Amino acid sequence: MSQKRNGMLPLWFALSIPLLLPGIPSAWAETSTGDEVPVAEEGSAPSEVLPVEFIPTYSATLKQLGANYTMHLRGIEGSDSVSFDVRADQVVTKARVNLEYSYSPALLSDLSHINVMVNDQVAASLPVPKEGAGTLQKQMIDIPAHLVTEFNRLTLQLIGHYTMMCEDPLHSSLWAKVSNTSQLELEATQIALPDDLAKLPLPFFDGRDSRALELPFVFAASPDNRTLEAAGAVSSWFGALASYRGARFPVSLAQIPAKGHAIVLVAGAATIPGIELPQDGVPGLTLQANPNDPFGKLLVISGRDGEQLKQAALALVSGSKVLAGAHARIDRIDSLKPREPYDAPNWLPSDRPVQLGELTEAKRLSVSGYDPGSINLPMRLPPDLFNWREKGVPLHLKYRYTPQPVSTNSSLLISASGKFIKSLQLPSQERLEDDKSLLAKLQQDETLLQETELLLPLDSLPLQATLQLRFMYDYIKQGECRDIIIDNMRGTIEADSTLDLSGYEHFIAMPNLGVFQNSGFPFTRMADLAETAIVMPSAAGVEELTLYLDVLGRFGESTGLPATAVSVTQGDEDAPLEGKDLLVLASGGNQPLLQRWSDLLPASLSGQSSFELSDLVHRVRTWVGDDTRANLRQARSSLALGAGGAGAYLTGFESPLDSERSVVVIAAASPDKLIDVSAALRGGEGYEGSIQGSLAVINGKHVNSLVADEQYYVGELGWFRYLQWVLAHNLGWMVLLTALAVGLASVLLFLTLRARARARLKD
């Protein structure tokens, strides 16, 4: 059975769901209007109605749905909304909103109310009686299930009036506030999707689901390096798809999960109970039902050996759009043009101006109304842009707007990640009469095209920034009984407006665990991780494997691409590690590479734990400001512990095998502590401190950066720029060079004057 394209189900199917699918309580059935029809159990009195229990399968607060603020509904028709979607393998049978709100005491209860709407259809209208005004109200609102489709918008609308006479439509007494802790709850029934590879990445990842992705990986046996490379490519692909949601990939060996979906990797003659594999001996992809769960799916990646397994995985992450059927046999996959540094799709290009139309859909560049929301453009910056003595990023902005007849305060506000940058005036028609050149620019749709050049200060932008553009129109009062809001104001940012990073060079002080957490740098410098080697323990357990897949998923989230060129090795020999940036994973004393490089480590957890400390642990303000030298805190002491030490740490240093190559070590005292590192890298609410510097210790949700030791630099600067930078940061060199320059100038001047004197004597 399948769903309609618009997300609505046929009436006969909606009525038959309780009978066909086992997930709906037998005590009730739902009509096409969403009304509950009580069903009497056998032996009960005909008039007895059984209570209906609401068991939500999905719940989210308005904050989790995107409202990072208290909704403030103002005016005679103030509204705000959030989006929520329903997975393709689920049908909503019940929905409700637990609403927390307050409203103005000045509202007339006979004329005012608050509408709860789903997809522009009114689900409920809440009265605003005088006795509840000005206090927090809580109310549970049932939403008819037939209003909920695949893609939905929940809107809260205030219809407000404060007088029976003429009123100001934007009067300050017309308000209602909705807390973003209000919760949406859905009760849904699972649907068994067909075994069709054409639906990938469904059902393993569904873009309609805003929750973090948790996708188990199952290995038939302890994986070899090529199998791990295949799994890393797949996990980074799903990490790129999950994007802001985050992703986690728990690992098990030869054990299918009891419920839900999973990725299964089988190489050679290995078998897993319950899984049937084709016997053709070639790499392949198979989609089949989970034998433990009729609604769960298994994506089986198979091959004769690890190399074939990797071939099948690469076919999945690069060619999923052309797959079909329950099974696909991979005959050949050829690599095309190698990638270039900094060409990750998620990163702003740094070799050319980028058009703003490349950063979002065209429809999101236009807004309407007197007080529209911001136009938000995501910007993920390369983390190693060299910002020393740079004025800012050039922004060539083109925009159109509707000129008002008369106004003095209309403007376009430009901000970056909440920091105000500039305000541009939006001249009215009255002012345009004095400027014939602007008046001539009025378009046929009565909008005015404007252009401006400005600079965005790069030092105030986080690596994951948002360019915010907001049209604000002046509301002109006409007088009593003449104030009417006419929604004819329009604003548009032209798609060919440009942001130019090409004037910046790539150069950064390392180690810097902050850019590793935020962007996966320096490994993600190559989007496919072609210059990265992951150094695994010789006998990696499920904890190390889970951490490996989680970290690769984060790299995919940063770049937007799967890690198709990553290499996995062990630390027994140095030869495979040369010419690579190294990510080293360890727990206890199972990593021989760390034993050979123990003198380079600022911390150790094998046997007796030890940690180097600096003045950083005594700082009150942490990691604020654009002066990298202010955060430099070299180690001043060392602490050794026999017991009671921290459970896990991250550290970074320059590779002893290659200059300007980086090593990042993730180590834990025991394998079970690695899950804390994975969670800390994802971050979120409740974490104290941040991962920064060259050594960060993790104890549960406590993150402490202990040392910030800049030892080396990666990237390239022009020779003159590099000379300027070196002299500016080294007073001794500056004095020496100045003395040499003065001495040289003095010698040249002396020789010149002596030559002139001799010439005069000859004359």
Q: Are 649 and 605 in contact (CB under 8 A)?
A: yes
Q: Percent of the chain at pLDDT above 70?
A: 83
Q: Is 26 a residue whose pLDDT tops 50?
A: no
* Predicted pLDDT at 21: 37
C-alpha dihedral sign at 430, 431, 436, 442: negative
**Beta carbons within 10 angstroms of residue 644's beta carbon:** 6
* Predicted pLDDT at 528: 94
Q: Is 142 a residue whose pLDDT tops 70?
A: yes
3-state secondary structure 114-155: EEEEECCEEEEEEECCHHHCCCCEEEEEEECHHHCCCEEEEE
Q: Are 281 and 304 in contact (CB under 8 A)?
A: yes
> Lowest-confidence range among 144-153, 256-265, 426-435?
426-435
Q: Tell me the C-alpha distance between 524 and 552, whole Å.
A: 10
* Predicted pLDDT at 23: 37
The SS3 call for residue 687 is: coil
Q: Tell me the C-alpha distance between 280 and 592, whole Å.
A: 39
Question: Residue written as tokens 């103002």?
Answer: 74
* Predicted pLDDT at 77: 87
Q: Tell me the C-alpha distance between 584 and 443, whole Å.
A: 60
DSSP 286-343: EEEEETTEEEEEEEEEEESSHHHHHHHHHHHHHHGGG--SSEEE-------SPP-TT-
* Predicted pLDDT at 760: 81
* Predicted pLDDT at 700: 86
pLDDT tens digits, one per residue of 548-561: 999 999 999 999 99
Higher-confidence residue: 50 or 77? Answer: 77
* Predicted pLDDT at 617: 53
Q: What integer is the mean pLDDT of 596-601? A: 84
* Predicted pLDDT at 625: 43
Apex 514 CA angle, 510 and 516, nearest 5: 75
Higher-confidence residue: 40 or 539? Answer: 539
Q: Determine phi and psi for 214, rounding to 5 degrees.
A: -125, 110
Question: Residue written as tokens 């189900």?
Answer: 9
Pairing of strands 448-456, 393-401: antiparallel
Q: What integer is the mean pLDDT of 22-49? A: 38
Higher-confidence residue: 591 or 642? Answer: 591
* Predicted pLDDT at 439: 58
Q: What integer is the mean pLDDT of 14-23? A: 36
Q: What integer is the mean pLDDT of 647-676? A: 91
State the burial class of residue 195 (Cβ atoms within 10 Å of its Cβ: 0-12, 13-18, 19+).
middle
* pTM to 2 decimal places: 0.84
Q: Is 699 a residue whose pLDDT tops 90?
A: no
Apex 557 CA angle, 329 and 709, nearest 5: 130
Q: Is 314 a residue whose pLDDT tops 70?
A: yes
CB contact set of 68 (below 8 Å; sequence gap of 6+) = 180
State the burial class of residue 484 (Cβ atoms within 10 Å of its Cβ: 0-12, 13-18, 19+).
exposed
CA distances from 542 to 203, 249, 253, 586 (A): 24, 11, 8, 12
The SS3 call for residue 724 is: helix
Q: Is 521 a residue whose pLDDT tops 60?
A: yes
The SS3 call for residue 697 is: strand
State the burial class of residue 488 (Cβ atoms within 10 Å of its Cβ: 0-12, 13-18, 19+).
exposed
Q: Are 675 and 654 in contact (CB under 8 A)?
A: no
pLDDT tens digits, one per residue of 214-233: 999 999 989 999 999 999 99
Q: What integer is the mean pLDDT of 286-304? A: 93
pLDDT tens digits, one per residue of 446-499: 677 889 999 998 887 888 889 999 998 876 666 566 555 666 778 899 999 999
pLDDT tens digits, one per residue of 348-398: 999 999 999 999 988 899 988 777 878 999 999 999 999 888 888 999 999
The SS3 call for residue 443 is: coil
Question: Residue written as tokens 């062990």?
Answer: 570
Residue of 593, 548, 541 whose CA lies nearest to 571: 593
* Predicted pLDDT at 40: 38
Arithmetic mean of pLDDT over the chain: 83
Pairing of strands 366-368, 490-493: antiparallel
Higher-confidence residue: 721 or 627? Answer: 721
> Lowest-confidence range among 114-123, 149-158, 517-526, 642-651?
642-651
* Predicted pLDDT at 745: 87
Q: Tell me the C-alpha distance between 629 and 719, whole Å.
A: 22
